[in-house]
């Protein structure tokens, strides 16, 4: 039996090879997974032209996944450092990589990482449009934006961020409800500018059916972007954000009618006490579609440490229903991330995702923690290192300060609680001042 997309296959009762791989990874019955995909609760972004892909599922009942942003820009056009980042992200087991390139050899870079990466690849095609046509933003024709989407889809991109919910109506709401930080989404601000300069409707909204045809043809998952995401805690959960979310819910249903898989993108900067309510709103208004969040960043005062502010928000968001976390690095708001910045962001995001999976009761999530605690109790340093989320850093710290006794560390020495409890419970004596008998 033929099928066009993973959703189409699921609706027809077909088990694809991608579904089998994801079901095995998640330790879930493939028929349960298939039902979740058919109902839009889970997506498997898997472009037919991405041959090196090792597929992952995103959505209800599955492990929380993370995404890594990278790409070339006018100020940093060199491809090679970004390729090194791709390789490192794959080594650190990021499930997704978004190429946010906006200048230079974008096509060459995109094709290289699609060929190289077993992780799913996402893009924001509007970033590429100005360079693709060598035109100023206002001179790009409405349907030319769709041609860029098709080019990315043909190249093998697994998901695309499209800000289709920023309609004329949404723009009017934004103008009537002033914000401290306006529209901070890069794609959203470009679209808003294009709409204002041309006095026209959002082309991705106006020609949404044609967009869906492209996504269906290549099985590209549509990641409906949050153009009105808050860029400060002052602007969160306001009229613009909620109106756009309502429209994204309407667009989700239209996509499902064409068997196009959908994710919804979310905030942004947001105070901790608003996060849970926002996760509930998304799931309600967007009919249970997987939720993909940037952070949320829970305070605006920590440039240089926003991998931490976002990990705090990401843990709360994912434990409250978010399915996919976009990493944030220490360089957020400051510069293009370095390789080290990227690593810090990935680790912080992975910690947030795992902590949330424990809270959500994801099957087998706590097993990792159990094994680590067991290794600690046994003072098995080698096993502890192997279980660390960042083995390299843990070994570096340990080796930088070697204790007198190998069964302890330089913090506690012979007063180590694990060491002494093991000895006492084994009926042995503890000598804190002299060598053990």
Cα separation, 94 vs 180, whole angstroms = 34
Known binding-site residues equal 69, 98, 127, 163, 185-187, 226-229, 265, 269, 292, 333, 409, 412, 416
Known binding-site residues for [4Fe-4S] cluster equal 409, 412, 416
Bridge partners for 294 per DSSP: 326
Known binding-site residues for substrate equal 69, 98, 127, 163, 185-187, 226-229, 265, 292
**What secondary structure letter does DSSP report for 401?**
S
Q: First and final CA of the chain: distance in angstroms? A: 74
383 contact partners, CB below 8 Å, separation of at least 6: 371, 375
152 contact partners, CB below 8 Å, separation of at least 6: 110, 123, 125, 128, 160
Known binding-site residues for Zn(2+) equal 269, 333
| CA distances to 144, 149, 307 from 191, in Å | 13, 15, 28
Question: DSSP letters of 167-179?
Answer: -HHHHHHHHHS--
Cα separation, 186 vs 52, whole angstroms = 29
Distance of CA 385 to the CA centre of its chain: 26
Question: DSSP letters of 102-155?
Answer: -SSSHHHHHHHHHHH-SSEEEE-HHHHHHHHHT--GGGS-HHHHHHHHHHHHHH
Beta strand residue intervals within 279-400, DSSP E:
291-294, 324-326
């Amino acid at each position: 039996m033929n099928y066009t997309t993973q959703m189409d296959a699921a609706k027809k009762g077909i088990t694809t090879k991608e579904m089998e791989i994801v079901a095995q990874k998640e330790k879930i019955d493939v028929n349960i997974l298939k039902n979740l995909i058919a109902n839009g609760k889970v997506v498997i972004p898997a472009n037919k032209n991405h041959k090196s892909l090792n597929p992952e599922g995103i959505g209800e009942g599955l492990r929380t996944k993370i995404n890594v942003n990278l790409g070339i820009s006018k100020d940093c056009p060199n491809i090679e450092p970004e390729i090194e980042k791709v390789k490192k992200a794959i080594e650190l087991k990021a499930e997704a990589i978004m190429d946010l390139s906006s200048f230079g050899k974008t096509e060459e870079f995109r094709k290289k990482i699609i060929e190289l990466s077993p992780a799913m690849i996402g893009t924001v095609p509007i970033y590429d449009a100005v360079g693709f046509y060598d035109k100023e933003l206002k001179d790009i024709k409405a349907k030319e934006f769709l041609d860029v989407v098709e080019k990315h889809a043909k190249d093998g991109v697994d998901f695309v961020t499209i800000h289709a919910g920023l309609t004329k109506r949404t723009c009017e709401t934004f103008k009537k409800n002033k914000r401290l930080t306006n529209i901070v989404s890069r794609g959203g601000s470009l679209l808003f500018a294009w709409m204002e300069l041309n006095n026209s409707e959002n082309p991705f909204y106006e020609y949404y059916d044609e967009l869906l045809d492209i996504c269906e043809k290549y099985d590209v998952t549509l990641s409906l972007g949050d153009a009105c995401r808050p860029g400060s805690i002052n602007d969160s959960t306001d009229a613009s954000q909620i109106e756009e979310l309502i429209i994204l819910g309407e667009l989700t249903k239209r996509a499902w009618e064409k068997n196009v898989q959908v994710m919804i993108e979310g905030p942004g900067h947001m105070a901790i006490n608003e996060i849970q309510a926002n996760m509930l709103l998304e799931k309600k208004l967007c009919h249970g579609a997987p939720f993909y969040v940037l952070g949320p960043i829970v305070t605006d005062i920590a440039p240089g440490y926003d991998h931490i502010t976002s990990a705090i928000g990401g843990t709360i968001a994912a434990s409250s229903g978010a399915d996919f976390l976009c990493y944030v690095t220490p360089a957020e708001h400051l510069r293009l991330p370095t390789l080290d910045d990227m690593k810090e962001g990935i680790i912080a995001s992975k910690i947030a995702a795992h902590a949330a999976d424990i809270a959500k009761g994801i099957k087998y999530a706590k097993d990792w923690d159990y094994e680590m605690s067991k290794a600690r109790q046994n003072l098995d340093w080698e096993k502890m290192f192997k279980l660390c989320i960042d083995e390299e850093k843990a070994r570096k710290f340990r080796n930088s300060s070697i204790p007198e006794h190998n069964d302890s560390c330089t913090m506690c020495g012979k007063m180590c609680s694990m060491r002494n409890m093991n000895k006492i419970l084994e009926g042995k004596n503890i000598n804190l001042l002299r060598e053990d008998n």
